[in-house]
Amino acid sequence: MVRYQDIARNLANGLAAGGGDSRAIPSEHELCQRYGASRTTIRAALKQLQEQGLIERRQGQGTIYRPRHITKNLGSIVDFHTEARLAGREPTTRVISLSEREAGPDEHALFGTAIAAGGIVDLLRLRSLDDRPAVLQRSRLGRTVLGPVHPGDLADTSLYRHLAERRGVHVVMVEETLEPLALTAEDAAHLGVAAGFPVFRSQRVARDAAGAVVEVSDNLIRGDIYRFTIHRRVDAEAA
């Protein structure tokens, strides 16, 4: 293996082992000293990593490591935009469709008759990272819970933040089920991949402090962008 390729692989492995957050990498001078290599060799290694999308040059910040995956903790409620920025990514949210209809029997059971009687809003949004489609999100909410809304009100923002700030509705608990899924042609087109592409399907129920259902969502999450973790505390007796 050519020397710069060996350095690029070693550096990529070391950065990946350091966790899933974006961060600055050592300067060219430091890397020359670490690997005992010339500046030309180090620059060739960095160019290879840049071509692989693992690093980028940012004005005033130097060279930044960009992990292939965003690590998502299933036990926390962090909105998409905050989570993306913490990982050093630039998030965008586009509303594909927003429509209203009468509730079906299952939605009367889910939301309760008082909410379901006012009708249901179907919201379809595409959420992207650095202009790369990442999550296709279908949400259902009570029309009286969401209130009057324009698609632009829900672009590039958190739905839960909108509900809290505009409607006084606060999501405090989320139940989430995760399973693998192969995309249909229609959903694959939204996410910019081929039909049959493997994704995570997250089915989520969000509740307020009283336990009432606020939102039910079905999310298709690209597995080449996200990975999931669970943090558990083990007590002494269980161990």
- pLDDT, tens digit, for every residue of 132-171? 899 999 999 999 999 999 999 999 999 999 999 999 999 9
- Please tell us whether the domain made up of 70-229 is placed in CATH 1.10.3720.10: no
Task: Judge whether residue 238 has pLDDT over 60.
Answer: no
Quote the pLDDT of residue 66: 73
Quote the pLDDT of residue 237: 60
Question: Do 188 and 197 contact (CB within 8 A), yes or no?
Answer: yes
Closest among 133, 53, 146 to 94, alpha carbons compared: 133
Relative to beta strand 120-129, strand 55-58 is unpaired
Quote the pLDDT of residue 20: 57
Task: Judge whether residue 19 has pLDDT over 70.
Answer: no
Beta bridge partners of 140: 122, 216
Question: Do 112 and 105 contact (CB within 8 A), yes or no?
Answer: no
Residues of the chain with CATH 3.40.1410.10: 70-229
Question: Do 172 and 156 contact (CB within 8 A), yes or no?
Answer: no
Task: Judge whether residue 4 has pLDDT over 60.
Answer: yes
Quote the pLDDT of residue 68: 65
Tell me the whole-structure pTM to 2 decimals.
0.74
Quote the pLDDT of residue 24: 83
Question: Do 155 and 95 contact (CB within 8 A), yes or no?
Answer: yes
Quote the pLDDT of residue 97: 98
According to CATH, the topology of domain 3-65 is Arc Repressor Mutant, subunit A (1.10.10)
Which letter does DSSP use for residue 16 in this model? H
Which letter does DSSP use for residue 237 in this model? T
Question: Do 117 and 103 contact (CB within 8 A), yes or no?
Answer: yes
* pLDDT tens readout for residues 45-89: 988 888 877 787 777 767 887 766 777 777 677 888 888 887 777
Q: Which helix (H) or strand (E) holds 40?
A: helix 39-51
Task: Judge whether residue 217 has pLDDT over 70.
Answer: yes
Quote the pLDDT of residue 126: 98
* pLDDT tens readout for residues 83-136: 888 777 789 999 999 999 999 999 999 999 999 999 999 999 999 998 889 999
Q: Which amino acid is at 226?
A: Y
Q: How confident is the model at residue 202 (pLDDT cuts 50, 70, 90)?
A: very high
